[in-house]
Amino acid sequence: MPSTSPAQLPSQRRVARSFTRALRLHCPNCGGGPIFVTWSRLVPNCPVCGLGLERGEQGYWLGAYFFNLMAVETVFAVWVVGFLVWTWPSPPWALFQASTLILMLIVPFAFFPYSKTLFLAFDLLVRPPSEEDFILPHEQSPRIRRGRQ
């Protein structure tokens, strides 16, 4: 097992840049895009650098689902505490139930693409890309193809 020294850790600037690109729904590796065909579907490779976005693994997005679950649970915890603190001592329970249900249906869908790009950014920092990640041929996003016609 290779040892990890502080010199091998990514710099704060690289981490910030990678996650900023991910939050803009662009490729965390190069900042290129667009990398989404629809709200939930990615192109197989980054249209600029050619990075295979699933990094050649079946079930790669399990980590993204974990990121999405953590985001939903964080929003839920902040919502519950915030709502109860704001409305205490007599919280309107029916409003609380309805609004919580709606919030818990919207947040996973709204956060879905971000969970994918943030997980990809995290994975690229933990496991830097190798040549194998760029082997697959480039495929352009339909939005780019339409723009050039």
Interface contacts to Zn ion, rule CB under 5 A: 27, 29-30, 32, 46, 48-49, 51
State how far the Cα of 135 lies from the Cα of 144, in Å rounded to an integer.
21
Whichever of 61 and 133 has its CB closer to Zn ion, that residue is 133
Q: How far is the CB of 50 from Zn ion (least distance, A)?
A: 7
State how far the Cα of 94 lies from the Cα of 89, in Å rounded to an integer.
15
State how far the Cα of 64 lies from the Cα of 116, in Å rounded to an integer.
5
Going by the DSSP 8-state scheme, the letter that residue 5 receives in this structure is -
Q: How far is the CB of 89 from Zn ion (least distance, A)?
A: 53
Q: How far is the CB of 33 from Zn ion (least distance, A)?
A: 8
Rounded to the nearest angstrom, the gap between the alpha carbon of residue 106 and the centroid of all alpha carbons in its chain is 16
Q: How far is the CB of 53 from Zn ion (least distance, A)?
A: 9
Whichever of 107 and 122 has its CB closer to Zn ion, that residue is 122
Q: How far is the CB of 26 from Zn ion (least distance, A)?
A: 8
Whichever of 24 and 75 has its CB closer to Zn ion, that residue is 24
Instruction: List, in order, residues 6 or more apart from 83 with CB less than 8 Å away.
Output: 91, 96, 99, 100
Whichever of 33 and 72 has its CB closer to Zn ion, that residue is 33
Q: Exposure pattern of 88-124 as b/e (b: 16+ CB <10 Å)?
A: eeeeeeeeeeeeeeeeeeebeeebbbbbbbbbbbbbb
Whichever of 15 and 48 has its CB closer to Zn ion, that residue is 48
